[in-house]
């Protein structure tokens, strides 16, 4: 896509990676930068955001980092203020932050439920609450929300809090898309399927018998294409939806799942 994000200011929430390798936010931040974007890399762990910044600057891109808790209204307002102070505008908000915890209604703790809703769902409300007024004033902007196919399908084990939080993001995306379309703002949601990223390995391995290689083999076998996706599959989808190539696309839920949601089981 060349320099499809040339000169655009992009806030990536969760721009670091929780472990070795490429998480969705890290890949998205680097890809946006390669397409010419100016990146605000936000992460609760500053060192993770700094690693992403180092990659971007090493490739000749521009990036600043912000350490923040995206479930904190004060922190989100600070992110917006820092971005405007540095760049003067916000063109893309990429909501990538999320955690995964298993459990159904009986065995999931109340603490787990509240944590999932706060981090996965309330964070999106807060970022949109404080970024959308900026985009509305500019009469332009794009919001990319990262959901999950778990909002549509049972994926093999109880996942209640995660599913509920990601399903909420779909509804929020649709509401924002319609309300802000007259103001030149688009909002779309990407639904990753079974992904091979650092975030899923430790939290989910117990659901597959405790062995990561067994988990990976089982997840590969579930997908019609024969393999899980990776962070770059999600990043390329986000780059398209954030760019002017997708200027007439808003309110969509785009599965990036190798065809998994086409299966009944």
Select from 87, 82, 93 the least CA-distant residue to 32: 93
Residue found by looking up tokens 């936000």 in the block? 42
Q: Is residue 259 part of a domain?
A: no
Residues of the domain holding 208: 9-254
Domain membership of residue 226 (yes or no) is: yes
Q: What is the number of structural domains in the chain?
A: 1
DSSP strand pairing (185-192 vs 9-13): unpaired
- The answer to whether position 1 is within a domain reads no
The pLDDT value recorded for residue 100 is: 87
Give, for 202, the enclosing helix (H) or strand (E): helix 198-204
Q: What's the pLDDT score for residue 199?
A: 77
Output the six-digit token pair for 106: 């009986």
Q: Give the CATH number, domain containing residue 244.
A: 3.40.50.720
Bridge-based pairing state of the strands 185-192 and 38-43: unpaired
Q: Is residue 4 in a domain?
A: no
Structure tokens, 153: 């399908």
Residue 227 falls within a domain, yes or no?
A: yes
CA distances from 126 to 18, 57, 80, 132 (A): 22, 29, 11, 10
State the catalytic residues.
Answer: 162
Residue 32 lies in a domain: yes
Q: For residue range 117-162, what is the model confidence (pLDDT) as tens digits?
A: 999 999 999 999 999 999 999 999 999 999 999 999 888 888 899 9
Per-residue pLDDT at 6: 97
Average pLDDT across the chain, whole number: 94
CA-wise closest residue to 175 among 164, 163, 185: 185
* Confidence band of 1 (pLDDT split at 50, 70, 90): low
For β-strands 62-67 and 92-95, DSSP reports them as: unpaired
Strand partners, 186: 142
Neighbours of 140 (CB within 10 A): 15
User: Rounded to two decimals, what is the model's pTM?
Assistant: 0.94
pLDDT tens per residue across span 218-241? 999 999 999 999 999 999 999 999
Note whether residue 264 is domain-resident: no
The verdict on residue 179 lying in a domain is: yes
């Amino acid at each position: 896509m060349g320099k499809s994000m040339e000169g655009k200011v992009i806030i990536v929430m969760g721009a670091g990676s929780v472990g070795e390798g490429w998480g969705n936010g890290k890949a998205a931040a680097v890809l946006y930068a390669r397409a010419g974007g100016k990146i605000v890399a936000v992460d609760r762990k500053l060192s993770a955001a700094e690693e992403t910044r180092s990659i971007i600057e090493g490739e000749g891109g521009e990036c600043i980092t912000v350490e923040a808790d995206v479930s904190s209204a004060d922190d989100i307002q600070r992110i917006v203020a820092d971005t405007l102070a540095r760049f003067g505008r916000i063109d893309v908000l990429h909501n990538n932050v999320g955690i995964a915890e298993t459990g159904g209604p009986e065995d999931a703790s109340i603490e787990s439920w509240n944590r999932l809703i706060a981090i996965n769902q309330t964070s999106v409300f807060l970022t949109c609450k404080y970024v959308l007024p900026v985009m509305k004033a500019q009469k332009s902007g794009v919001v990319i929300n990262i959901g999950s196919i778990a909002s549509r399908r049972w994926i093999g084990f109880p996942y209640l809090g995660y599913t509920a939080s990601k399903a909420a993001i779909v509804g929020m995306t649709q509401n924002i898309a319609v309300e802000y379309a007259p103001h030149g703002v688009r909002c779309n949601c990407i639904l990753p399927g079974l992904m091979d990223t650092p975030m899923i390995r430790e939290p989910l391995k117990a659901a597959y018998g405790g062995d990561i290689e067994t988990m990976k083999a089982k997840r590969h076998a579930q997908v019609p294409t024969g393999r899980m996706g990776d962070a770059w599959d999600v990043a390329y989808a986000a780059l398209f939806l954030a760019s002017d190539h997708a200027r007439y696309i808003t309110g969509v839920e785009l599965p990036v799942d190798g065809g998994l949601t086409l299966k009944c089981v």
